[in-house]
Structure 1
Amino acid sequence: MRAIEGNIKQSFSSSVTQDTDLLHGRDAATMTDSILPFKISTIFTSTMALAANVLMVVSIIKSKTLRKKWSTHFTVSFLISSAASALSSMSVVVLSLIDSSAEEERTSSSVSTVLFGLLWTFGISHYFTSCALALTRLMAMMWPVKYQKLMSSKVAGFLIVLPWMLAALICIPAFCGVMGKPDTKTVEYKPGHTRSENITAMAYMATTVGGPVLTACSAYVAMFIQASRSQSATSFHEHHNSHHISQWKNGITRALLANIIIHISCNIPHAICHAVDSFNRDHVLKAAIHFMCTVQFMLDPLMFFIFAQEYRKASLELLNLTFRRGQRSTPASSESYGASKRFRVTLVQNTQDL
């Protein structure tokens, strides 16, 4: 009798386990299908961001006037970190699609851990570089003489490499797996469910994202206050005040300020998402927040193109040069290019006659 009861209990428990596994499998499949549009959108956005950042970096390097300025070196580092973040984000999402389509998880945990660690490293270096950019712009505006004396090639190189070094040191726990096993279905590390783990995640986000962004915001607020005072000051120090105003109205400063505003808009929901445990149950909302966080990497070079006239001119020259090379690659395209050029010259001459 007891043997029969034991067999019944064993069969009942095995059936319950099978039903639970089927239920979890259906839930995982439903969750994967619901966040699939955000994954595809993230891949598309990351590809566009990578192309835009690479285009801006190459155009800056090819420009003879831009590559001589120290501020340009910081901007190149900023755009490279943005391109690296877009590339790693695209790689992680592609990995998640491979794992979701496979019946069994074929990708090793070491590969996913390295990819997620690189994503965190490049993202954190991006925020640290934006903070270094803001502080150097503040110093160039407030103390221009000291800035020119202190900003040598060694100091500039150290300030450019320092954000990358700090990001790598901070992200060592992610590479070692201390942050937990990456979940390739939700495209993040598996979140903690205890209060201490949530507090740790919130402190980590505040240190790596909140600290640099708030420091950069403080620098831009100080620059705005100084420019306002210089604009309302007397003409006794007219040259000094005009320097402050011109630095504040500079296109690069405006582009960096726009990027900081974008970073705040994209990362406040991202930080709340990682800090509040209730977001762990809504995978669609979490995927949408992570997609919005990826959009900032595409908007970074766009802000430089819109606000910085020299950067826009350099990128347009590179695009024009590439387009002309493509046209001159075949005789037919060369003839069409020559005809269109003659038409433009004739049109200008007729306009001048009028």
Structure 2
Amino acid sequence: MQSSTATLDDREAPPDRQGTSSRKRWITAGVTVAALSLASFLLYRTFSKFTWDELVSSVAEVPTTHLLWAAAAAAASYVCLTGFDWMAVRYAGHRLPYRKVALTSFLALSIGHTVGMAAFSSGMIRYRFYSRWGLSTEEVAKVVLFCGVTVGIGMITLGGAGLLVRPDLGERITGFSQTWMMALGAACLVAAAGYLALAAYVRRPLHLWRWSFQMPSFRLAIGQVVIGTLNFTLVAACLHQALSAVSDMPYLGVAAIFVIANITTMISHVPGGLGVIESVVLYLMPGDGVIGGLIAFRCIYFFIPLAIGGVSFALTEIALRARGHPSRRRTA
């Protein structure tokens, strides 16, 4: 019944709307194909230099202690990410028990981090769960937007602080002068401070083209800066632990490289930054042993949470269907 209704609506839609919808589908498909093609090319270029035995031996060179510390940092990061959703739900005007928010956050991000296009993949999972607990479609969209802004705020704050504290590392990584590195770091921190100022003093919605945004409260904005930065600090710590056995790059240098790799991932839209993170890190941190640390990092932060999140999501859906939960009839 739902399918036939959707088809009827499409037939009755004005021609210009049908054309716009068709163009969006083609654009989305094109972006997806281009991103997957880029990921395949980068993976081939990154790993074709090594034999299978070289890859295995490179991973084996990472000490167990470093792997355990990397796993601890990754686990702490995913706990930190639940704070994104906890604040976002309050920004949307709701209060849910932390256990529900934590479950939704982990399932959405453990899957979304690897699947890619997190605003859509993790957004659909968030809708699936939050709509059961009383949030409307618009409120779920606010949650997704809030979390996305928190990611950006955390990234620029960590990157800016790192460049100001160690501009020499920025010069070593990028080749630009320390003066430029300090200017860029200051600009990042000024942007974060400007966001806090908007949250403190602007209560009317901000308009950007056809969209309008309501700034969060000052307390929530402070939380975004603190928790967003802490999350990227932990992810960078995970990468640093995986690489420190084979590289002398200090933590702040690894953090700066990780921020650059993340920005490249966002621009490329490659799912999970697969191949992009590895290519950027190998370019900025050349060395034969680095590839082993990168594989360990990819497994610890992306693949293991994906496996846990995927199984957990499937079990949750099976349990809901067995109970005949009415939300299983909803479609996003």
TM-score, shorter chain, exceeding 0.5: no
Structure showing greater relative contact order (alpha-carbon pairs closer than 8 Å, 6 or more residues apart): 2
TM-score by length of 2: 0.34
